[in-house]
Structure 1
Amino acid sequence: MKLVRHGAAGSEKPGIVDANGRVRDLSGTIRDIDGETLSPEGLDRLRAIDPATLPLVPEGVRLGVPVARVGNLVCIGLNYTDHAEETNAPIPSQPIIFNKHTGALSGPNDDVILPPGSTKLDWEVELAFVMGRTAWHVDEADALSYVAGYTILNDLSEREYQLEWEGQWSKGKSYPTFAPCGPWLVTGDELGDPQQLDLWLDLNEQREQTGTTTRMIFTCAHIVSYASRFMKLEPGDIITTGTPPGVGLGRKPPVFMKAGDTMRLGITGLGEQQQTVRPRAA
């Protein structure tokens, strides 16, 4: 299944993508796409519905973050060997875990806001997964059974805030609109193996990132198992798994974004996003 949330920001309704790629409205069936809906039982109830019986959503409607009321947005850093190398960082022996504020989440095609005075805004296409069951000290062999589905997340980063200012990475990662997510949440049974996906990102119609999840240092299953040793992952939590090479920081000299720049990005089976950078309104 491909699940979506459609409508104006703050007023999104749940939806499902039918066999013809059209969005159907689920608001008469469920309250929203949240942790309760994403449980194994909740997904089974949705699978029993024939999407053709649901109302069509007008074409071109805005899509929001495909998960409502996200409690935790967990990130894995430097999870591709070639990305670590391009940024002159050591290859990690254990997953690097940090958090983005959930207030950074935005729709897949919403504008990205350039913070006032920012000069080092960077792009990062990433595979993200969403929890469907509570995970706490789970075995890697069983870890993917705790995942409800997969989506795209653009882990936007202000590199000066992240790397040159004191403190945690989170301050360079958490500005509003710094986590465009979607367009869909694709359940694991439809997506297949998450370690066999291609990722790409274009900036102003020029290819910048090309990667494959086969190059991830730590697999999705390993990340679930490892993270669940240190925190209780809850249904609806989003975990994003790191970016392949091609970020602006890795260019020589580095290249960063400015107002008016446009990103387009996608992952096999998960659709595409597009965002334009704009300054914060006065």
Structure 2
Amino acid sequence: MRVLFLGTAAYEGHPNVFCDCENCRKARLAGNESFRLTASVYVDDDLLIDFGPNIMSGAQKAEVSLFDVKTLLITHSHSDHLYLPNFGYRMNRYNASYDRLPRMSVLANSTVLSLISNSVYFDPEKTVLLQAEPYEEIEVNDCTVIPVPAVHKVKEDEQPFIFLLKKGGKSFFYATDTGPIEDSSFGRLKDLIDSPIDIAVVDSTLGFMKEVLFPYHHTAEQVITTKNRMRELKIIDDNTLVVAHHFSHYPNPPKKELEEFYNRYKVVVAHDGLLLDI
């Protein structure tokens, strides 16, 4: 399983181009290694998680083509995870290889699917919509995907998801845009795995924020708490790659400073272009 991070920032990117805070100034001075686009990951050359406004920039920055993508998982409807004009890049009028373009299965909650199907960019010839249900395994293009409810606030009546992927004897848990996960969810997750997860990506939006006013993301300290809890429950073990991901500019300094903290706990700091191959 190959996991390539196309973007690793929260909604506003990092640095925020309209911000002059200390972290944004430091990131600009640090240069490209600290520049972050909105979060998205590319798995095994045929699966994407999230479809925000920087998907084109992320792919070009990583020097990859998304032509072979057959599966798209969307966590929720916030605009840094669902940017509907992206579907336009796959439409006949904008795509010279449209006839050879694979059909893409989109797995998401009902709110997201409704937004897509009602969009002017929806092309039913090349797009298959699949509704995600909590803890319900679904086989999509040779990958088993299990949606897990996220602790996140979106539209009224919308259930955001994080995802567990299993393929070729390997497993990948993508848990971003969520606050600390409830033990009941961890219990269900444990029942769905045969061995400890190989890669666990954990939301790190709130970074070094001291007063948490928005309990739908993780602080840096909560990332470590979540890692320890998953370790206690044997969902992960010492061989699991735990990755901090989805950084907001306000409470997160540039990459090197983040690494100084997370390295002490054996947590990898995601950055745009990071490739994990297991």
Band of TM-score, shorter chain: under 0.3
TM-score when scaled to structure 2? 0.27
More helix by share: 2
More contact order relative to length (CA 8 Å, sep ≥ 6): 1
Greater share of residues in strand: 1
Give the TM-score taking structure 1 as reference length.
Answer: 0.26
